[in-house]
Chains A and B, each alone.
Chain A
Amino acid sequence: MNIEQLHSQYKTSLKKENRLIRFYQILIFIVFFSSWELFSRMRWIDPLIFSSPSKVWHLFIKKLGDGTLLSHSGVTLFETVLGFIIGTLLGTILASLLWWSPRLSKTLDPYLVILNAMPKVALGPIIIVAFGPGFPSIISMGAIISIIITTIVVYTAFREVDPNYLKVLQTFGATRAQSFREAILPASFPTIISTLKVNVGLSWVGVIVGEFLVSAKGLGYLIIYGFQVFNFTLVMLSLMIIAFFATIMYQLVELLERKLIKD
């Protein structure tokens, strides 16, 4: 027995384990969709309500062909990405302002608690009346749902940065802005990234609810429309497209995380 042999043995066992996990993941996927198809065909579940993968697929091809799916998905994706970016950015900026002025943060504290506890989607009707039934309202919904929680989480991260880093900067005569740039912000990157991950999900919620309410365009509209005309194949299709895009967005955030955080 030499070391090299043991090492290669270890590597094979590691590879085997990974392959096994991948196998189970694919298995779950196949079992889920084939039993859905089977149950629906055998009428063990109501095909009118639960549709079936083959029907969803055919609808997908058809809607892709006439271009409606692309335009609806495009609208929703655009609104979500924008809502996500605006929400995260404004939340981080607000957190920076709170850090900048401890007096402001103490003053605003009870209001932040109230705003955070408030279900933001309940503001939907007011937002739509204020901004009109279109893009701006839906993007605001996507943003507003994540602003306050981002502010709170990021501000907490700012405050938890080891004060000794600030002491080091202070002995070099750093200004508050320099301390923020050199220590507070970079030390909080891991937290900001993890709020990004949460915000991906939240902004989808905001945008879909916004589209429910406005009911003009987008995947949220397709879901509501499908529900009203009892076309659940359309509802299922929209859900799958949402799941697909949400996953892609999440993966992009993870990519950003690997780029930004070197540890």
Chain B
Amino acid sequence: MSFLKIQDIHHTYFSNQTAATALADISLDIEKGEFVSFLGPSGCGKTTLLSIIAGLFPPTSGKILLENNPLKADSDFSIGYMLQQDYLFPWKTIEENVLLGLKLIKKNEGLEKIKTLKLLSDVGLGGTGKLYPRELSGGMRQRAALARTLAVDPKILLLDEPFSALDYQTKLKLEDLVFEILKSFGKTAVLVTHDIGEAIAMSDRIYLFSAKPGRIYKTFEVPDELRELTPFHARNHPHYSALFQTIWKELESLEY
């Protein structure tokens, strides 16, 4: 039995004039501890799928099972979601921001709090707890957002292009950090990206989506040699460029 099972997801957005099908026939399985990427051109519905997995809205049809149970948005924290930008609350200190999820379930005291503050130093933000988000750099803020997501100990992490708003150097560093933290906590993760290199460097498997409607066009298994390396080192491995070329060609053929 797979950890996360996505079965026959269809999703259509309705408006007064149109009914646009964003996703069709999406079925895939993700095992515990795996890191998979959804890669594809814009408009291929990858973010829609991520939102559906997160339980932000129900799909038009199909179902999603996490450890064999249907997903509910308001159940205990099975899902952690990271957005393109950090969306730290500017009126809260870093510590308050990171404790937000726990506060909502009234567990922000005692042991849970100590664990969370340790998490803050795990992501390299020790001693910044009393600062406000505006006092931190973009990379630091995204790290705080990671700590906020991990604080509630989600079973699966959904990453919606979390590195796309960062400069290249910060992005590379943060990829390594996220990769290592997820491996050390044994977390399962789904990354949405349009960056081929990022998908190869970070994931175990890549789903390439085609657009209109969004379908899984091809699946690529990342070779074991690359999986074991950190994203930064994976980018320098000979297998990396080979896979990059293959995916690049597939993407080209999609866009005509």
Using a CB–CB cutoff of 8 Å, the interface residues on chain A facing chain B are 162, 164-165, 167-175, 178, 182-183, 186-187, 189, 262-263
Q: Within the assembled complex, what's the spacing in Å between the Cα atoms of A263 and B91?
A: 9
Contact B54 A171 (CB under 8 A): yes
Known contacts A167-B83, A173-B74: A182-B89 contact under CB 8 Å: yes
Residue of B nearest to A261 (CB): B91
Q: Please, which residues of chain B bring their CB within 8 A of the CB of A175?
A: 74
**Does B230 lie at the interface of the complex (its beta carbon under 8 Å from any beta carbon of A)?**
no
Contact B87 A171 (CB under 8 A): no
Contact A170 B89 (CB under 8 A): no
Contact B89 A183 (CB under 8 A): yes
Q: Please, which residues of chain B bring their CB within 8 A of the CB of A167?
A: 56, 81, 83, 87
User: How close is B220's CB to chain A, nearest CB, in angstroms?
Assistant: 28
A174-B104, A178-B104, A186-B91 are known; give 12 further A-B pairs, CB within 8 A: A165-B87, A167-B81, A167-B87, A168-B83, A168-B87, A171-B55, A171-B79, A172-B77, A172-B101, A173-B73, A173-B74, A173-B77
Residue of A nearest to B84 (CB): A164
Residue of A nearest to B90 (CB): A263
Contact B132 A262 (CB under 8 A): yes
**Does B16 lie at the interface of the complex (its beta carbon under 8 Å from any beta carbon of A)?**
no
* B54-69 interface with A by 8 A CB criterion: 54-56
**Does B80 lie at the interface of the complex (its beta carbon under 8 Å from any beta carbon of A)?**
yes
Tell which of A162, A173, A183, A187 touches B105, judged by Cβ atoms closer than 8 Å. A173
Q: Within the assembled complex, what's the spacing in Å between the Cα atoms of A173 and B74?
A: 4
Q: Report the 5 A-B pairs with minimum CB-CB distance, sorted nearest first.
A: A171-B81, A172-B101, A173-B74, A186-B91, A164-B87
Q: Within the assembled complex, what's the spacing in Å between the Cα atoms of A182 and B56?
A: 18
Contact B56 A172 (CB under 8 A): no
Q: Please, which residues of chain A bring their CB within 8 A of the CB of B83?
A: 164, 167-168
Q: Within the assembled complex, what's the spacing in Å between the Cα atoms of A171 and B157?
A: 11
Contact A164 B85 (CB under 8 A): yes
**Does B237 lie at the interface of the complex (its beta carbon under 8 Å from any beta carbon of A)?**
no
Tell which of A162, A171, A178 touches B80, judged by Cβ atoms closer than 8 Å. A171
Contact B100 A182 (CB under 8 A): yes
**Does B218 lie at the interface of the complex (its beta carbon under 8 Å from any beta carbon of A)?**
no
**Does B246 lie at the interface of the complex (its beta carbon under 8 Å from any beta carbon of A)?**
no
**Does B169 lie at the interface of the complex (its beta carbon under 8 Å from any beta carbon of A)?**
no
**Does B18 lie at the interface of the complex (its beta carbon under 8 Å from any beta carbon of A)?**
no
Per-residue CB contact flags for chain B residues 76-111 toward chain A (1 = under 8 Å, else 0) read 110111010101011100000000110011000000
